[in-house]
Structure 1
Amino acid sequence: MEKSELYGRLVAGPLPAGLRNSPQIQQVPVIHRWGPVVWCLRCGQVTWRQGRLPHHHAYCPQCLQLGRVSTLTSLYTIPEPNDFHFDGSRCVWRGKLSPAQARIAEKIKRAVQQRRRFLVWAVTGAGKTEMLFPGLEAGLAAGWRVGVVTPRIDVCRELFPRLRTAFPAVTAILLTGDESTPYRYTQLVVATTHQLLRFYRAFDLLVVDEVDAFPFITDKRLHYAAARAIKEDAAVLLLTATPSSQLLKVIRRHRFQIGMLPARYHGYPLPEPVFVRIGHWERLIHRQMFPTKIQAALAGWQERCLPVLIFVSRIKWLKPVLRALQRQLPTWRGTSVYAADPRRQEKVAAMRKHRVQYLVTTTILERGVTFPDVQVIILGADDPVFTVAALVQIAGRVGRSPTAPTGTVLFGCTRITPVVRAAYRQIRALNRAARRMG
């Protein structure tokens, strides 16, 4: 282990012999116990009557996936020294921002330079990543350590190559928990939000993308980790396309400034969903058939060679829907994908390379992926699994590319629920706001 691996990180002991006597290393106790109560300083969680070990010792059951910590272990860290050696951190991206994007990008840059907190509320497909570049460049050029995190692995894998291409002179690493690349000390860290549990007062600038997404929105451990991973005077940028009212209340309480962009960078409106009444669609699927209007849409898209995402609420529907597609459209190639699918990355790549024409998927692909010219169907959009944010994000998969800025989104419903109506109204409201802004 290199000493630099402890910079701004929490590493469980024991340490290698060569590091134990370093005066820079700080020892951090990790588990406090009061009778049956166990408090973990790594993930911030309190457990009751759990995590007991022999001889009155205890461990934290809440963050076992990072390796067990207990009253028998300590965490070690070295205060972040910002020890970066780079030839320059100039952004080499040569694209052009729209006037609306440029206004938000300038606000982001000022917030970074002044070490403030800033929320970017921009619709799906607005070009949030490119709007970050001036702010990231300002932080990296100042020698700051920068973290860009998101709850979804797929989003990380989309972001990392784009950031590496834009800032080729900056050392960078991708941390998702399933990467085989060993950790090393870098100036730019792109990671899933769970990886923040390993950092301690490391980042001068932290960007949290898809801040409204599961699991970050519901997991108190990740909020704790984000607060502890930054330096006291750090700049923080939050990005979202679908902020909940609860999130906006938190933002105001913590005095975040807000920049809103209701328009996509190519100027076309968000595709507005079309409601399709599909009755008892589950019975048809079990007979390897589709509701008439869904079948007609699929056949039309196959004829035009358009890629399609078919969303279902639960894993149990993946195989039945896939079998129905294979029977009804036997010459069309496709597959299914879900969060724990061991071939998930391979299947998404196959869709991008046009080796398959459709994916039957759960909400795991609701955000963070872009397929040019894709069309979308949600079977059972009225299922409680699909929240307003999820429906808006799923609809936002369509029309993201400037070469294919339009498309079709079908909300297949047994009944039009308040959630489905709210998603539709939110999309229309954003389009109206975009028209008002020109």
Structure 2
Amino acid sequence: MNQIDAARAGKVTEEMEIVALQEQVEVEFVRKGVAEGRIVIPKNRVRNRSKICGIGAGLDIKVNALIGTSSDRDQMDMEMKKLRIAEEAGCHSFMDLSTGGDIDGMRKQSLSLANVAVGSVPVYQAGVEAIDKKGSIVGMTSDDLFETIEKHAADGMDFMAIHCALNFDIIHTLQKTGRVTDVVSRGGSFLTGWMLQNQKENPLYEEFDRLLKIMKAYDVVLSIGDAIRPGSTADSLDQSQIKGLMVAGDLVKRALAAGVQVMIEGPGHVPLNHVKTTMELQKKLCHNVPYYILGFLATDVAPGYDNITGAIGGAFAGMHGADFLCYLTPAEHLGLPNEDDVRTGVISTRIAAQAANVARKRGHVINNELQMAKARVGMNLEQQLQRAIHPEVLKAAMKNQKNDNHHCSACGDDDCAMQVAAKYFGIA
């Protein structure tokens, strides 16, 4: 019995209990959320790991990282280091997006080392193998695609991005209306090219029931990939995006009816004035299932700093209901991220999630903010280290102090303004 079947039968699983404890909510809240599709718990039935998380309404916002080999950089040792760095920096999950080298070996390495949920995009491997064996992605068959999906599920993937909400109707809309950036999703571009060349419907859409059987058998969370997401702020909320969201909503309904945990991947480039509308449309059209945000990138003109643009957009998205934020690193739009980029990406996105959790008035989150403020007034370094998102930075700063006192840039060696005021008003 998978998570959603158990929840609908009124049964509480061990994973639900863990999530309830972590989130400081009643376990019945989690069970009901899973039963109704508002909460997912990524946990493949064939894989054991130490950390479980829940994603969805009424829970803290979670953060996802990305790793993976490519034809340009096939270094499994580096990806192993990036995985460890991402976990140390506090990610709740990561996705293995490998497209080069030993893809099967890389996936098995990731699953063997990971303590958190792991996701993948099977069409990447299916497409690359079609190029290697048949000379082109367009030579890929429906069976090739579904066999790859089942292989990832059998290996233990907890969630998968599947680009099933793409069909000819959407492509024709895109051709008719036009776009600045056309199709920027890698999986979306693979499938668009395959469909146009072969003049066949997307097999992930056409054979959706076949997909659901695999997801349900292994209790994999289906993450409906946004194949038609906007790749620039100019394309945000255009006809193609909205039509794709409507198709996704229909598939969500079918997935929930089949007893499959499901979430939606969301658009990348979204100006801040579109965030609220985008979130409301997704929740309304897709039956309030969790929303996995790819960004949002709030501006297009900050290459080298997209961890910041993504954090700004992600914080706004979280404030308006996003449940899961995929990190962006400083290397976005520039090249492949290194270890430092991964750390920066995770921490930047955790800051965005924290800001959104405060805005959503998550009780334990607000209490942590309050305790940090009190620790600063009391110059309690140990408490500050316990509360900080990235305490290593604070530790490094303390090593550079001239003495044991904690000085900040505002006061330097002078008396701390907070302490002076606290003593004067009798609240020290």
Q: Which has the higher strand share?
A: 1
TM-score range, shorter chain: under 0.3
Q: Which has the higher helix share?
A: 2
Between Structure 1 and Structure 2, whose CA radius of gyration is higher? 1
TM-score w.r.t. the length of structure 2 is 0.27
